[in-house]
Chains A and B, each alone.
Chain A
């Protein structure tokens, strides 16, 4: 089976999802700016009002994204035909050989995904707690948890680097630069 081609189709599907998101942004921008009841503060006889440029940009974005979706769909269609042809011919497409250790690749992808989500969750927690917990303690804890999320396992080393890091940040930003955090 032409796994390389199937992967290409999957990639294009992700492109389409992003394009759909951008299309929604363009449409929402168009609706919001033209539904706005804002009073202009300064009288102007200019050809372009406050809503003109956002409207132009939103239309251009919608048009470009539509074009992108059309070209992506066309490429997907070609890939799908190729997949069907490969399946009928039972040929091995280039890229199949690279699929050697699919299981290991899957585990690695899962680890990366977990680390990305872990990073976002820990970062958000860090930011939300900044107003409530002492900066040095929170930063030390943040570094400690992040090292664990990124796969470090030497507790002594993690603790030493986190404490030194937290102290260094505190000294530089709070003590020297007087950051009002």
Chain B
């Protein structure tokens, strides 16, 4: 593992890779600071630029964006009380009152340090867990891989925002879309309607461009013209002293553990974990009543959790090929476009890339700290900008991103179609990330189920033949049964509370992002 990691650092420490990582991180901070814009969207607009790159530089650029958006979200949370990302919402609870008291620089300083320490914490756990899990996963048979895929999809449905039923509908639609094209075993065409373009399936990158580029622009059109009023315009970052940080070590450790642990569960990570970590630290505190009034612990904890999440999501993505959120789904897609085969064999076949990505995660976290420390005032300027100047550029990049997948206009029309579908889904509170994960994991699940059956003489008991498979099947059945039980025992909201439920609105975009 150590040799691999050293090799990973050696491969990314070239000037071009460092420059791309730096530029990606800076772009991520900028995008994260803008409420409504998301990490997956920022990564998707980079797609057309990364086609011509080598695999590792392309993924490093995306990694930089992914890490940068985590911190950027806290800028607007602290200064505007409008989090740039859903994950940053918790930071606003204490960050904004601090800014109101004239401690905006200090709040941003705690956010920067929390993100950096959390990022390093998450990185350590990711570097430890990915090779271990990958070495176990590589011994998996077809039945194991199929069950891992199904479990991942059920977990995403269960834990993603909104109800599990909506999540399952999204996943199933994604699985159905994934069956378009030639089937993986018999090479028979399905749902192609005579179109040669659909023989190799729905262009995956075009679908991503639609879901995370065009759909997000359509959803965020309502934010055009809304001017942001910053509580303070002249910001100087005030980093906390080491003594202040050491005094609050529990915030970083709890945030790091929750961020990495929950981040590793597909579909859960970014949105929930900061709240759980914040509540845990508050409950352990001797002065819980001060939380929410503007104390450093309330900024440090969610920010440490946010960035530890990046390490957590790397574990299932790199070891099992299961993306935890929208951003990692796009990174998996980029891997496929660059000829890699994500999944349990990724570490074995492309270990250099995996270690390069892990090394990039740490270096990007360092860049994030440096950029925030030295140049925060320039990034805060974007908070005042109107999105109407940005969206047309995103649409052009989305069009080019889709076009370049096949060098024809066909994927562009696919992207526009999925953009409209994604917009309708989001507006009805169906998380599009479930559809995307269905599209990604669909071929893996189908191929492995059919191969497992073929290799076991069509014996279905092969899926419960070993104890790990039994555990996975039990987990799948348990999650589904729990949801059915919850659905049967719950009463409609209006009757239960005697009040009208809030109208359903489109929610945050990150890692539904």
**What does DSSP make chain A's interface, helix, strand, loop or mixed?**
helix
Taking a contact as CB atoms under 8 Å apart, the answer to whether B169 and A65 are in contact is: yes
Tell me the smallest distance from the CB of A158 to a CB of chain B, in Å.
9
Chain B interface bracket (under 10, 10 to 19, 20 to 34, 35 or more): 35 or more
Tell me the smallest distance from the CB of A181 to a CB of chain B, in Å.
6
In whole angstroms, what is the CA distance A9 to B381 when docked? 42
Tell me the smallest distance from the CB of A108 to a CB of chain B, in Å.
8
Which A residue sits closest to B427, measured CB to CB? A14
Taking a contact as CB atoms under 8 Å apart, the answer to whether B399 and A173 are in contact is: no
**Chain B residues whose CB sits within 8 angstroms of the CB of A42 once the complex forms:** 185-187
In whole angstroms, what is the CA distance A172 to B396 when docked? 13
Taking a contact as CB atoms under 8 Å apart, the answer to whether B450 and A127 are in contact is: no
In whole angstroms, what is the CA distance A61 to B400 when docked? 33
**Chain B residues whose CB sits within 8 angstroms of the CB of A155 once the complex forms:** none
Taking a contact as CB atoms under 8 Å apart, the answer to whether B224 and A151 are in contact is: yes
**Chain B residues whose CB sits within 8 angstroms of the CB of A40 once the complex forms:** 186-188
Q: Does any Cβ of A come within 8 Å of B392's Cβ?
A: yes
List A106-147 residues whose CB lies under 8 Å from chain B: 112, 115-116, 119-120, 123-124, 126-127, 130-131, 139, 142-143, 146-147
Taking a contact as CB atoms under 8 Å apart, the answer to whether B165 and A71 are in contact is: yes
Taking a contact as CB atoms under 8 Å apart, the answer to whether B189 and A161 are in contact is: no
Q: Does any Cβ of A come within 8 Å of B176's Cβ?
A: yes
Most chain A beta carbons < 10 A, residue from B168, B392, B487, B494: B392
| Per-position 1/0 for B429-467, Cβ under 8 A of A | 010000000000000001001100110001010000000
In whole angstroms, what is the CA distance A94 to B497 when docked? 12
Q: Does any Cβ of A come within 8 Å of B384's Cβ?
A: no
Which A residue sits closest to B51, measured CB to CB? A177
Q: Does any Cβ of A come within 8 Å of B137's Cβ?
A: no
Of B165, B183, B389, B495, which one neighbours A64 at CB under 8 angstroms?
B165
Tell me the smallest distance from the CB of A34 to a CB of chain B, in Å.
11
In whole angstroms, what is the CA distance A8 to B172 when docked? 27
| Per-position 1/0 for B321-364, Cβ under 8 A of A | 00000000000000000000000000000000000000000000
Q: Does any Cβ of A come within 8 Å of B499's Cβ?
A: yes
Taking a contact as CB atoms under 8 Å apart, the answer to whether A93 and B392 are in contact is: no
Q: Does any Cβ of A come within 8 Å of B14's Cβ?
A: no
| Per-position 1/0 for A39-69, Cβ under 8 A of B | 1111011111111011001101100110110
Q: Does any Cβ of B come within 8 Å of A29's Cβ?
A: yes
Q: Does any Cβ of A come within 8 Å of B379's Cβ?
A: no
Q: Given A41-B187, A126-B399, A173-B400, A29–B221 Cβ distance below 8 Å? A: no
Taking a contact as CB atoms under 8 Å apart, the answer to whether A79 and B217 are in contact is: no
Tell me the smallest distance from the CB of B223 to a CB of chain A, in Å.
10
| Per-position 1/0 for A1-43, Cβ under 8 A of B | 0101101100100110010001001100100110010111110
Which A residue sits closest to B225, measured CB to CB? A151
In whole angstroms, what is the CA distance A82 to B494 when docked? 8
Taking a contact as CB atoms under 8 Å apart, the answer to whether A32 and B191 are in contact is: yes
Q: Does any Cβ of B come within 8 Å of A84's Cβ?
A: no
Taking a contact as CB atoms under 8 Å apart, the answer to whether B453 and A47 are in contact is: yes
Q: Does any Cβ of A come within 8 Å of B222's Cβ?
A: yes
In whole angstroms, what is the CA distance A29 to B399 when docked? 28
Taking a contact as CB atoms under 8 Å apart, the answer to whether A143 and B388 are in contact is: no
23 pairs from A and B in contact (CB 8 Å cutoff): A2-B500, A7-B500, A15-B428, A18-B424, A18-B428, A38-B190, A45-B454, A50-B188, A60-B172, A61-B176, A68-B166, A74-B492, A79-B492, A93-B499, A116-B221, A126-B399, A127-B416, A147-B389, A150-B221, A151-B225, A151-B388, A165-B393, A179-B400
Q: Which residues of B contact A (CB under 8 A)?
A: 48-49, 51-52, 165-166, 168-169, 172-173, 175-176, 179, 183, 185-191, 214, 217-218, 221-222, 224-225, 388-389, 391-393, 395-396, 399-400, 403-404, 407, 409, 412-413, 416, 420, 423-425, 428, 430, 446, 449-450, 453-454, 458, 460, 487, 492-495, 499-504
